[in-house]
Amino acid sequence: MANSAQAKKRARQAVRQRAHNMAQRSAYRTAVKNVRKAILGGDKNAAQAALNENMGIMDGLADKRIVHKNKAARQKSRLSAAIKAMA
């Protein structure tokens, strides 16, 4: 448990920052889910539009290190490959 004033403040800040990061990570997962839903819909143009729309969210959170940059790159690659594989 934190004893000094500095440690107590850092503990308060960590709680607040964790809540913010969790919300950002949730938005990331929702963005990926929206693209997957568009792919399952079968419309290639809509799926590509969804990927382009959500790619900024994915890149932004990777830049802020909320998700690992390789994870974001891997998911973007797999989503774009799935879109290219559509008829």
**What residues does each domain of the chain span?**
25-84
Share of the chain above pLDDT 70, in %: 100
CA angle at residue 56 from 52 to 61, to 5 degrees?
145
pLDDT per residue over 21-47, tens digit each?
Answer: 999 999 999 999 999 999 999 999 999
Alpha-carbon gap, residue 87 to 85, rounded angstroms: 6
For residue 56, pLDDT beyond 90:
yes
Q: What's the distance, CA 79 to chain centroid?
A: 13
Alpha helices in the chain (DSSP H): 5-41, 44-63, 69-84
Q: What is the pLDDT of residue 65?
A: 96
Q: What is the pLDDT of residue 45?
A: 95
CATH code of domain 25-84: 1.20.58.110
pTM for the structure as a whole: 0.86
